[in-house]
Amino acid sequence: MEKTKSYKQFDGFTNYYSHDSKVTGTKMSFAAYLPPQPAGKKLPVLYWLSGLTCTEENFITKAYAQLFAKKFGMVVIAPDTSPRGANVPGENDSYDLGTGAGFYVDATQGAWAKSYKMYSYVTRELRELVEKNLPVDGKRAGIFGHSMGGHGALVLGLRNPELYRSISAFAPICAPMRAPWGQKAFTAYLGTNRNDWAAYDATELLKQAEARTPILIDQGLEDEFLAEQLMTDELEKVCLASSYPATIRRREGYDHSYFFISTFIEEHFAFHGEQLRS
């Protein structure tokens, strides 16, 4: 793991790292904010998953997260959204498949299966790397994200309650099996068997969830993708039917952008902080 850039910020450091990934077979990158802390102390950690077209840069430079990571005493980790340079035919042809669009699944189909393993990368390799090299308490971890990354946070959190004690999302793709973005990605990465898709669909996972990891979702009502791609109502129906501990807030006038995220990011840190302190 190599530190490639470092900037002092709010008395801590925003660092960028790269490493050769055994999971993807490519070089992977991630950003981390390390708030000021006494030597030897390990802090709770939040993993942020970004959306379509994003890299490790978007959240760490646009969300004002470092201010609140310092306030609540948490390390923040923001990985890239896909392998880069995997040389899969067609991986750079569209914004919603391939480069910048890993969808946090482990691909099983064709050339995608070799490198597009973002589920295993985030839950296993990245987590192990972070816990080994950075001052984090792996037993106090939460996960959050935006759009495609919100989908990822919900899925990874629901499938791994032993790893993540809190889950939150901004404008997540809640029912990717029904959404054009999800259908396109799942067909390419996972094939046409919809039973395989269900393992990466938060709405479907909630129907059989035994663990009760708390969830917080914020959704802007002026989000251009809400009706066709995000389908918040579908997830809420399942939560209500099963009495799942999810708080879903609809924000009047807000869209899909980082202007929306930065407005409410402090509340997400407070939510995770409450869960990770308990």
Does residue 278 surpass a pLDDT of 80? Answer: no
Residue 231 clears pLDDT 90, i.e. is over it:
yes
Give residue 37's pLDDT: 86
The pLDDT assigned to 277 comes to 85
Q: Is the pLDDT of residue 95 over 90?
A: yes
Average pLDDT, the chain: 97
Owning domain of residue 147? 2-277
Render the burial of 200-213: b for 16+ CB within 10 Å, e for the rest. Answer: bbbbbbbeebeeeb
Average pLDDT over residues 191-202: 97
Average pLDDT over residues 247-269: 98
Share of the chain above pLDDT 70, in %: 100
Average pLDDT, stretch 109-129?
A: 98
Q: What is the pLDDT of residues 14-69, one digit of tens each?
A: 999 999 999 999 999 999 999 998 878 999 999 999 999 999 999 999 999 999 99
Percent of all residues in the chain with a pLDDT value above 90, rounded to a whole number: 96
The structural domain count of the chain equals: 1
Q: Which of 47, 63, 219 is nearest to 144 (CA)?
A: 47
Summarised one tens digit per residue, pLDDT across range 131-142 is: 999 999 999 999
- Which of the residues are catalytic? 147, 223, 256
Which pLDDT band holds residue 263 (cuts at 50, 70, 90)? very high
Q: Is residue 149 over pLDDT 90?
A: yes
Looking at residue 111, which CATH number applies to its domain? 3.40.50.1820
What confidence score (pLDDT) does residue 190 get? 98
At 38 the pLDDT is 81
Confidence of residue 13 (pLDDT cuts 50, 70, 90): very high
